[in-house]
Amino acid sequence: MEHRTIITIEYQHGSDGEQIGKLLAEKLNISFFDSEILDEASKKYNIEEKVIRNFDETFVYEGIYSLVQDVRVAKTGMGEYKQSLAEQVYLAEFNAIRNLAKNQSGVFIGRCSDYVLREYANAIHFFIHAPIDVRVEKICRYENLERSEAEIIVRKRDREREKYYNFHADQKWGDARNYNLSIDTGIIKLNEAVSLLEQYIKSIGKAV
């Protein structure tokens, strides 16, 4: 089998996880998959892009599935059940991630990608985090927000991502046991974090 480098990155909001993933992909000269996962899911599974984005990494409690518009009926060996838009989006993203990882190296951002690709022996999983104050400060700067507004956004996004991950994956979001390496970007600069991950990948012989 052709050697591929498969990297997944889960991250806390405001910890620079997306930026680190993009820079790492550039350094390793491999593909970068973030919004590209949404594009693939929308195209391959015929779900409108705005629907994909509305439900992307957003937890929807099963009890309100029946209230979501466009609930489709799916047939299984046990009969039929109603499949919500939230479930359709998750399954579309799940399959899109696996399809993209089949034939190419790449860095996959969020969306339970570490869990989706857990059976890939060549996959490396990272978690990027930072203290809440550091992350709030970054969001203030990136989005030109007041501190109170930024803190609400950071805490809300983390809660949504954690609930989404814990619901769909058979493991806990942020649990160090699920990752090869976790990095605190509150004590290390962005470029240093990228270099550290690159060195780690090469040290275990997983680079292309």
Query: Which pLDDT tens digit goes with each residue over 96-124?
Result: 999 999 989 999 999 999 999 999 988 99
Q: Which residues contact 47 (CB under 8 A, 6 or more apart)?
A: 41, 85, 88, 89, 92
Which pLDDT score, from 0 to 100, does residue 3 have? 76
CA-closest candidate to residue 138, choices 151, 152, 127: 151
pTM of the model: 0.88
- Predicted local distance difference test score (pLDDT) of residue 97: 97
CA-nearest of 130, 124, 111 to 178 is 124
Which tokens hold the place of 132? 């809440």
Q: 54: Cβ–Cβ under 8 A, 6 or more apart, which residues? A: none
| Mean predicted confidence (pLDDT) in 141-153 | 97
Decide: 132 and 12 in contact? Cβ < 8 Å: no
pLDDT value, residue 129: 98
Q: What is the pLDDT of residue 53?
A: 93
The pLDDT score that the predictor gives to residue 2 is: 60
Q: Could you give the percent of the chain with pLDDT greater than 70? A: 87
Bridge partner residues of 128 (DSSP): 11, 183
